[in-house]
């Protein structure tokens, strides 16, 4: 360890710390400033005080601006410090790689801050990090979806403009529908896809899922349609027909949308019901739903019509019956295989668990369970609260119910 004893060396030490803090995360910065004396801390605080109070970095002398790196360690809970410093680094210094982690820190402190999100999106634009940029614009869109005020009018226009630009750059066409925003390939081979996804057809999907789960998104969900080549590049498993990304979007492939008579029912309705259920479950449970229940509700949704007509299930053999814990692990394991009977069996069993829950405790049961999970209750407590059963008792009743189905 190097020891600094003189005033000159103390100054050199400070310069080295400043240099290091410009390249290290805020948590490391906080640790590094622990060696500062009270006098040094007071001096730094005085110099950056305007920024701490929300003023732009240009309000402090240029020679004092390097103190902002040290201040980040001293004031890790100051949104204004991290946002204003990032703003200065991005707009004045064009140092986008330094601005990004500070904007992320600002968003940890204020997750829904529109100014920080837009600046972060612009940084990702300059860095050409497309997926991160899209995520920022989509997040902003969700936050202001229902805000028709004059205050957000220009921001809404910028969001639409940028999402449209990014769609064009990726050879996509963007259409803003009533409930969904649809992205389809610009290729003439797939011009029909957008016409298949009419608002009337999509309204059926929206009404069924949101009605069943009594959860209504405050924003439009994005439907991203990719040609088979691009879909194969991004899909999470080799056998996936589509996938949902939280409550914000779903991704499907063009093959799911054959050209049909506009008056007919949408052939891809089942897969849309399945993936949109995942979107709504993600919102209803705040991302805390176990996979077996998430997939089970999606399978149930795609296998019933609006009149709640029961679908005829495949009855698993006794050796293929799994507990909830085993089924949860099975969903984790099947991501690594190429599909086939094992995948189908897991989804079928999850669908049966969901059907048992709904048939015996009504559609209210999954709604209440998702709410309990959202409130950070463990599955055991959620089941006990909703069904007054332990997990073991729930599984035993399920096995008895499946046995009765097999003998009908």
Rg of the chain's alpha carbons, rounded to an integer? 27
pLDDT attached to residue 408: 72
Alpha-carbon distance of 252 to 244, in angstroms, equals 9
Higher pLDDT: 9 or 339? It is 339
CB 225 within 8 A of CB 184: yes
* Total residues belonging to the chain: 408
Q: Check residue 263 and give its pLDDT.
A: 83
Instruction: Give me the sign of the Cα torsion angle 332, 351, 293, 207.
Output: positive
- Distance in angstroms (rounded) separating the CA atoms of residues 100 and 296: 39
Burial class of residue 181 in the structure, from the number of CB atoms within 10 Å of its CB (0-12 exposed, 13-18 middle, 19+ buried) = buried
Nearest to 366 by CA among 293, 273, 277: 293
Of 22-31, 77-86, 244-253, 289-298, give the lowest mean pLDDT range: 22-31
User: DSSP of 359-386, one letter per residue?
Assistant: HHH-THHHHHHHHHHHTT--HHHHHHHH
Contact 328, 290 (CB under 8 A): yes
Q: Reply yes or no on whether the pLDDT at 173 is more than 70.
A: yes
% of the chain at pLDDT higher than 90: 69
Q: What is the pLDDT of residue 311?
A: 56
Quote the pLDDT of residue 386: 96
Residue of higher predicted confidence among 280 and 8: 280
Mean predicted lDDT score pLDDT of the chain: 88
pLDDT of residue 20 exceeding 60: no
pLDDT at position 34: 56
DSSP three-state, residue 304:
coil
Cα–Cα distance measured from residue 404 to residue 408, given in angstroms and rounded to the nearest whole number = 6
Average pLDDT over every residue of 244-257:
91
Kindly tell me if the per-residue pLDDT of 14 is higher than 80.
Answer: no
pLDDT score at 316: 82
The pLDDT value recorded for residue 9 is 43
Q: Which of 142, 307, 279, 347 is nearest to 208 (CA)?
A: 307
pLDDT at 15: 44
Q: DSSP string covering 83-121, please?
A: HHHHHHHHHTS--HHHHHHHHHHHHHHSTT-HHHHHHHH
**pLDDT level of residue 296 (50, 70, 90 thresholds):** very high
Higher-confidence residue of 24 and 399: namely 399
Rounded to 5 degrees, φ, ψ at 240 are -70, 140
On the question of pLDDT at 299 being above 50, the answer is yes
Calculate mean pLDDT across residues 97-119.
Answer: 96
pLDDT tops 80 at residue 12: no
In angstroms, rounded to a whole number, what is the distance separating the alpha carbons of residues 312 and 181?
34
Residues in CB range of 272: below 8 A, 6 or more apart: 202, 205, 223, 250, 252, 266
* Direct distance between the N- and C-terminal alpha carbons of the chain, in angstroms, rounded to an integer: 78
**Start-end of H helices in 235-322:** 269-284, 291-302
Confidence tier at 252 by pLDDT (50, 70, 90): very high
Q: Give residue-wise pLDDT tens across range 268-277.
A: 999 999 999 9
Compute the average pLDDT of residues 125-139. Answer: 90
C-alpha distances in Å from residue 1, one per residue of 4, 22, 27:
10, 22, 21
**Is it the case that residue 219 has pLDDT exceeding 70?**
yes
Burial 75-96 (b: 16+ CB within 10 A, else e): bbebbbbbbbbbbbbbbeeeeb
For residue range 234-244, list pLDDT tens digits in order: 888 888 889 99
Q: How far is CA 201 from the centre of its chain?
A: 25
Contact at 8 Å (CB) between 274 and 223?
Answer: no
Confidence of residue 256 (pLDDT cuts 50, 70, 90): very high
pLDDT exceeds cutoff 80 at 30: no
Stretch 2-24: mean pLDDT, rounded?
42
């Amino acid at each position: 360890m190097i020891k600094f004893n003189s005033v000159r060396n103390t100054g050199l030490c400070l310069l080295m710390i400043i240099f290091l803090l410009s390249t290290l995360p805020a948590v490391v910065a906080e640790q590094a400033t622990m060696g500062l004396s009270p006098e040094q801390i007071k001096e730094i605080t005085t110099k950056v005080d305007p920024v701490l109070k929300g003023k732009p970095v240009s309000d402090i002398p240029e020679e004092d601006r390097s103190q902002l790196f040290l201040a980040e360690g001293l004031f890790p809970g100051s949104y204004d410090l991290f946002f204003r410093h990032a703003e200065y680094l991005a707009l004045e210094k064009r140092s986008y790689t330094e601005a990004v982690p500070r904007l992320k820190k600002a968003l940890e402190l204020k997750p829904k801050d529109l100014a920080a999100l837009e600046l972060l999106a612009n940084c990702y634009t300059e860095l050409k990090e497309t997926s991160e940029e899209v995520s920022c614009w989509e997040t902003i869109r969700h936050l202001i979806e229902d805000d028709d005020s004059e205050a957000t009018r220009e921001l809404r226009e910028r969001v639409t403009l940028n999402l449209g630009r990014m769609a064009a750059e990726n050879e996509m066409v963007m259409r803003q529908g009533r409930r969904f925003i649809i992205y389809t390939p610009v290729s003439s081979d797939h011009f029909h896809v957008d016409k298949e996804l009419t608002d009337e057809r999509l309204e059926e999907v929206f009404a069924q899922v949101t009605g069943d789960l009594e959860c209504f998104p405050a924003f439009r969900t994005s439907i991203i349609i990719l040609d088979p080549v691009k879909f194969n590049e991004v899909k999470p498993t080799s056998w996936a027909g589509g996938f949902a990304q939280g409550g914000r979007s779903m991704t499907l492939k063009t093959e799911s949308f054959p050209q049909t008579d506009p008056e007919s029912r949408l052939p891809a309705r089942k897969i849309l019901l399945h993936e949109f259920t995942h979107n709504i479950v993600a919102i209803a449970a705040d991302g805390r739903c176990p996979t077996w229940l998430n997939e089970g509700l999606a399978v149930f949704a795609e296998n019933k019509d609006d009149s709640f007509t029961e679908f005829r299930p495949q009855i698993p053999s006794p050796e293929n019956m799994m507990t909830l814990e085993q089924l949860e692990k099975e969903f984790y394991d099947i991501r690594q295989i190429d599909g086939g009977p094992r995948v189908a069996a897991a989804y079928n069993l999850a669908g049966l668990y969901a059907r048992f829950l709904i048939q015996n405790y009504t559609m209210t049961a999954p709604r209440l369970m998702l709410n309990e999970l959202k409130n950070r209750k463990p599955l055991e407590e959620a089941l006990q609260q909703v069904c007054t059963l332990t997990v073991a008792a729930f599984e035993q009743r399920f096995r008895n119910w499946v046995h009765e189905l097999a003998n009908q």
